[in-house]
Structure 1
Amino acid sequence: MEIGSYIKLHRIKQEMTQAELAEGIVSFAYLSKIENGKTEASPEVISLLCTRLGIQLDNEKDITIKNKCQEWYSQLFEVNDKDEIERGYNELEALMEDTHSESMVMFEIHKIRYFLILGQYEAALTQINSLADLSSTFDSLHQFYWYKFKGNYNSQVGEFNQAMRMYKLAEEKLNHLELAESEIADLQYTISVTHSKLRNTLDSIEYANKALDVFQRNYNFLRCAQCHILLGISYRRLMMYEKAIKNYNLALHLGKLNNNRQLIQLTNQNLGNLYSTKGEAKQAIQYFGKIVDDDKVILVERLAAIACLIREYYNVEQYDKAKGIIEKGLSLMKDLDDIEPFRLLYYMIYTYHFALGDDHEKFENLVINEFIPYLKKHKDYANLVTYAELMGQHYERLYRYKDATKFYKQANLAYEQFTNI
């Protein structure tokens, strides 16, 4: 990392203005040139600036930092224990606090990924904003991760079109870099996921197969399983159910070989979705039910299974069972610090909660004023069909046929949009 960029980064982190740092050492304008790499300052000036910032130049310590950074980055790349990742982060923060390191910028960029892994979305956004001014000084490798992790953030908050734009910018950087094929495959997998979210089914299949080819060569069976799940989702959407089930079963087999409960239950969730799509509620309920009481599964997966299970019980008119599952969902959501990443599941569970509680006012207000606008904003036409139709049925039962017709039309329009994706 250029010393000027390093000084700028530390100055920003310490919330110090250029005038405050430059006072008595150099002019404000000269410091600006140093920070932006437009001039090469003397060692004496650099030393004075670093002293004011409370940092030192230590090549031997920098080698240690570089090695520890590589170890920590690999922990973020694969699935690892969060406590271990936090320990690595805290150690690196302490090491870099007062030492100039070539790894500083890359570490700061990887913090975005770190905060996302911990579910700290506001911290991730703050980190993105804090690096924005510095991004013009990034080299191609920095830019690759900068775009990739910004895409990760956009994806986490449901901005999939923006996420795709970032991933494509990262992909363009591959022409100027020599990265390990596993890194490239990870980006290809991520692009496949985003295409899947955007319902670009054929593109999702293309990128999933590219990633799968690499993961198979590297005997990375967990990542292979993730690709098989993506392929299963794509083939389900194309109504190629046999191919979908074959890929899900491959994922399930690999999940069991690795004793990976998250992967097993993710596959069960998708098998439940497949049988729900086919209208085979009994089998869908069986798969969703395997996940609901598994407290080892991450919260978002449990809530997704709960929401789907409620829908299945509601559709087959097993209302008492639906109410029982709703209570589990409400109990789990009670302790959420940030509802935003769970917004869709929150709306799904509360929609049925109000519907089955005959609380017409709350049901109508939630679905009409919040849920349906949310689905339209995110272009989630599949769910829009379901919940616009649910409103139509609601008004039909109340003999409000004009209102019912309005929502049935919305459902039909959403279905047309969905089938045209």
Structure 2
Amino acid sequence: MEIGPYIKLHRIKQEMTQAELAEGIVSFAYLSKIENQKTEASSNVISLLCTRLGIQMNNETDETIRDKCQQWYEMLFEVNDKEEIIKTYKELNSLMYEHHSDSLILFEIHKIRYFLILSEFEEALTQINRLADMSGTFDSLHLFYWYKFKGNYNTAKNEFNQAMRMYKIAEEKLNQLELSEEKIADLQYTIAVTHSKLHNTLEAIEYSDKAIDIFRKQYNFIRCAQCHIVLGISYRRIRMYDKSIKNHNLAKHLGELSKNRQIIQLTNQNLGYLHSTKGDRKKAIHYYVEVLNDPEVDMNARLTAVTSLIKEYYSIYDFDKTREMIDNGIELLDNMKNKEAFKIHYYVINSYNYAIRQDNEKFETLVINEFIPYLQKHKDFANLVDYAKMLGRHFERLNKYKDSVKYYKLANVTYEELINL
């Protein structure tokens, strides 16, 4: 990495102004030129600036840092113990402050991914903003991860169109890099998932097939299973149910071989949704209960199973079970620290809670003023169809036919958009 941007990054990290760093060494204007690569400073000036920043120049240490960084990047790339990821991060962060290392920029970019893994979304955004001014100095490898991780941030915020834009720019950088096949496949899988979120079904199949070809060669069962799940979802959407079930069963088998509970239960969740789509409520409930009863699944999977069961029980008029699942969901949400990440679950649980209690005012206020705009903003057309219909039926029961027609019309228009995606 060029020394100018390196000094700038360290100065920003230490919350030091240019005037404070430059005082007694160079002029404020000259430091600005150094940082922005508009002049080449003498080794003596660089040494003085680094000393003030507390940076040691040591090539041997830089090699150690580079190796440790690579280990940490791999931890972020695969599913790993969060405590180990945090421990390694703290060690590296301390080393980066004390020593000059060419690995600094790549380390700082990977911090975005690190904060996202920990669900620290504000920290991730702060890191993106901190690095934005320096992005003009990034090389091709830096830019690849910069755009990929910004896409990851957009995905975490359910901004899938923006995420796709970032991932496609990252994909364009592949021609300029010699990355491992597995890292290329990881981006292809990520693009496949994003296409799936946007209901670009054929593109989701195309990118899943690309990724799975590479993961098979690597005997990476977990990543193959993840691709099979995307394929299962995609084939369900185009009503190729046999192919969908085949891919989900392959994913489940690979999850069982790897003893990966998250893969197994993600497959069960999607099999539940598939049977619900086919109208087989009994089978759908069976698969959702499998997810809910597994103590090892993460909170998102648990809440997704709960909301799915609420919908299924409500649709077959089993209101006792519906209330039980609503209470379960409210309890889970009450224990969550980062409620923003589970906002859609909050809306679903409370929509049905107000509906089953026949609290019409709260139901209408929540669904019309908050939930429908949320779904429109995030272009979640599938849920928008369901909840627009729910509002239509609600107003129909109340003999408010004008409002009923309004929301049935919204459901029909949205459905047209959905099938044209």
Q: CA deviation at 1:294?
A: 2.2
Give the match for residue 137 of structure 1: 137
User: Normalising to structure 1: TM-score of the pair?
Assistant: 0.99
Moved more, 133-142 or 293-302: 293-302
Give the match for residue 197 of structure 2: 197
Give the match for residue 226 of structure 2: 226
Q: CA deviation at 1:38?
A: 2.2
For 1:97, what is the secondary structure of its paired residue? helix
Output aligned runs, 1:21-32, within 5 Å: 21-32=21-32
Output aligned runs, 1:301-340, within 5 Å: 301-340=301-340
Give the match for residue 68 of structure 1: 68
Give the match for residue 245 of structure 1: 245
For 1:268, what is the secondary structure of its paired residue? helix
Q: CA deviation at 1:380?
A: 1.2
The amino acid of 1:178's aligned partner reads E
Give the match for residue 148 of structure 2: 148
The amino acid of 1:209's aligned partner reads D
Q: CA deviation at 1:196?
A: 0.5
2-structure distance, mates of 1:293, 1:224: 25
For 1:179, what is the secondary structure of its paired residue? coil
1-structure distance, mates of 2:411, 2:165: 30
Give the match for residue 106 of structure 1: 106
Q: CA deviation at 1:264?
A: 0.3
The amino acid of 2:252's aligned partner reads L
Give the match for residue 414 of structure 2: 414
Give the match for residue 345 of structure 1: 345
2-structure distance, mates of 1:14, 1:280: 59
Moved more, 33-42 or 367-376: 33-42
Q: CA deviation at 1:223?
A: 0.1
Percent of pairs identical after alignment?
66
User: Normalising to structure 2: TM-score of the pair?
Assistant: 0.99
Q: CA deviation at 1:334?
A: 0.2
The amino acid of 1:285's aligned partner reads I
Output aligned runs, 1:33-182, within 5 Å: 33-182=33-182
Q: CA deviation at 1:383?
A: 0.7
Deviations for 1:89-138, whole angstroms, at most 9, x for unmatched residues? Answer: 01101111211111111000000000000111111000000101111100
Q: Say how many residue pairs are matched.
A: 421
Q: CA deviation at 1:30?
A: 1.4
Give the match for residue 385 of structure 1: 385
The amino acid of 1:163's aligned partner reads A
2-structure distance, mates of 1:106, 1:295: 37
The amino acid of 1:66's aligned partner reads R
2-structure distance, mates of 1:132, 1:389: 43
Deviations for 1:259-311, whole angstroms, at most 9, x for unmatched residues? Answer: 10000000000001101111111110010111113231110111011111100
1-structure distance, mates of 2:152, 2:414: 28
Output aligned runs, 1:256-405, within 5 Å: 256-405=256-405
Moved more, 402-411 or 144-153: 402-411
Q: CA deviation at 1:396?
A: 1.4
Give the match for residue 184 of structure 2: 184
1-structure distance, mates of 2:405, 2:2: 65
2-structure distance, mates of 1:279, 1:182: 39
2-structure distance, mates of 1:160, 1:47: 45
- In angstroms, what is the RMSD of aligned CA positions? 0.8
Deviations for 1:31-90, whole angstroms, at most 9, x for unmatched residues? Answer: 112112222211110111011111111111111111000000000000001011001101
Moved more, 380-389 or 247-256: 380-389
What are the ranges of 5 or more consecutive residues in structure 1 without an aligned counterpart?
Answer: none
The amino acid of 2:363's aligned partner reads F
Q: CA deviation at 1:142?
A: 0.3
For 2:37, what is the secondary structure of its paired residue? coil
What are the ranges of 5 or more consecutive residues in structure 2 without an aligned counterpart?
Answer: none
The amino acid of 1:390's aligned partner reads M
1-structure distance, mates of 2:108, 2:36: 18
Q: CA deviation at 1:416?
A: 1.0
Deviations for 1:129-164, whole angstroms, at most 9, x for unmatched residues? Answer: 010111110000000000000000000101111100
For 1:296, what is the secondary structure of its paired residue? coil
Moved over 2 A (4+): none
2-structure distance, mates of 1:334, 1:295: 18
2-structure distance, mates of 1:134, 1:80: 30
